[in-house]
């Protein structure tokens, strides 16, 4: 039992897109066990988004011991947008303080789930796979690249906390903690655990400058991704240049970040440093 990603606005009836394995399962029924304070149940049992914010909904299978949760961001219902002629306002500048919220151990900065050296994930946070939106976006990008005679594949997608622990510890044994921290995230600090990050093709410095790396850098934002650890930004992101590591943000936000030429840390005005 899995829940696909969901977006909502105030007033929307929340309809979870729940998938089951195997697909021919005979009983596909669930019930709500917990809904956040931004939701309400109407007299028919429907879940309604009553106000904007970020909160969690938890469901369980009616007969099996299966429990799943999804964090949903509810946006305020959009009023008619007013566009000012030739006046583009930057949403996030170095003069603005970011809105940081911690919900069930997850850190959201201006509504964006953030994981870096400053902000971590709980050990038990386990979406189990890549986000459906991120995987669909990659498939779209992969097909577009193919049309340009560029072959892309996912070398490393979702990683659990325990897998990241094993990887990080092996790098520490090999290179020492100081060097390992420049290219590998400590457990709980890896974007791969979110299900929104992936490493493409070749995960080493030989990938830099290849036709595939150049294509990704110039085009990935069109499909909702950014190069998460750009060249020359090591002191800001905390990691060496990784032309293979992309993070899914959605097309609109990815294009905004790309057009600023900033890292996600710079765009949101946040840090990426371990406390010790």
* Each residue's pLDDT tens digit, 14-63: 877 777 677 766 666 777 777 777 777 766 677 888 788 888 888 888 77
Judge whether 1-76 and 132-268 match in fold: no
DSSP, collapsed to helix, strand or coil, labels residue 29 as: coil
- pLDDT band with cut points at 50, 70 and 90 for residue 94: very low
Catalytic residues: 242
CB under 8 Å to 247, separation ≥6 — which residues?
Answer: 191, 196, 197, 225, 226, 228, 264
The pTM assigned to this predicted structure is 0.71
pLDDT band at 75 (very low <50, low <70, confident <90, very high): confident
Q: Which CATH number fits domain 132-268: 3.30.565.10, 3.40.50.170, 3.40.30.10, 3.30.1380.10?
A: 3.30.1380.10
CATH, range 1-76: 2.60.40
pLDDT of 84 higher than 70: no
H/E run at residue 103: strand 100-103
Contacts 24+ apart (CB under 8 A), 129-133: 129/2, 129/157, 129/158, 129/195, 130/154, 130/157, 130/158, 130/195, 130/196, 130/198, 131/5, 131/194, 131/195, 131/196, 131/248, 132/4, 132/5, 133/5, 133/224, 133/248, 133/250
- Domain boundaries along the sequence of the chain: 1-76, 132-268
Q: What is the mean pLDDT of the chain?
A: 87
Can you give the pLDDT at residue 243?
98
């Amino acid at each position: 039992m899995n829940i696909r990603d969901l977006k909502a606005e105030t007033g929307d009836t929340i309809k979870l897109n729940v998938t089951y394995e195997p697909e021919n399962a005979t009983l596909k029924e669930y019930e709500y066990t917990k809904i956040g304070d931004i939701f309400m149940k109407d007299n028919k049992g429907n879940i309604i988004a009553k106000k904007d914010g970020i909160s969690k909904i938890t469901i369980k299978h009616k007969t099996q011991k299966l429990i799943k949760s999804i964090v949903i961001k509810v946006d305020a219902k959009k009023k008619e947008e007013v566009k000012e002629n030739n006046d583009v306002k930057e949403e996030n500048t170095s003069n603005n303080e970011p809105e940081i919220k911690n919900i069930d151990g997850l850190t959201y900065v201006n509504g964006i789930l953030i994981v870096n050296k400053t902000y971590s994930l709980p050990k038990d946070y386990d979406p189990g796979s890549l986000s459906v939106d991120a995987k669909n976006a990659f498939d779209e990008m992969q097909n577009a690249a193919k049309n340009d005679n560029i072959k892309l594949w996912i070398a490393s997608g979702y990683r659990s906390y325990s897998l990241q622990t094993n990887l990080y510890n092996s790098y520490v044994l090999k290179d020492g903690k100081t060097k390992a921290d420049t290219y590998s995230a400590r457990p709980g600090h890896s974007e791969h655990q979110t299900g929104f990050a992936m490493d493409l093709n070749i995960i080493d410095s030989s990938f830099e400058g290849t036709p595939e790396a150049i294509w990704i850098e110039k085009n990935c934002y069109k499909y909702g991704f950014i190069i998460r650890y750009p060249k020359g930004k090591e002191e800001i992101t905390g990691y060496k240049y990784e032309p293979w590591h992309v993070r899914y943000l959605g097309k609109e936000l990815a294009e905004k970040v790309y057009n600023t030429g900033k890292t996600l840390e710079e765009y949101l005005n946040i840090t990426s440093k371990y406390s010790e």
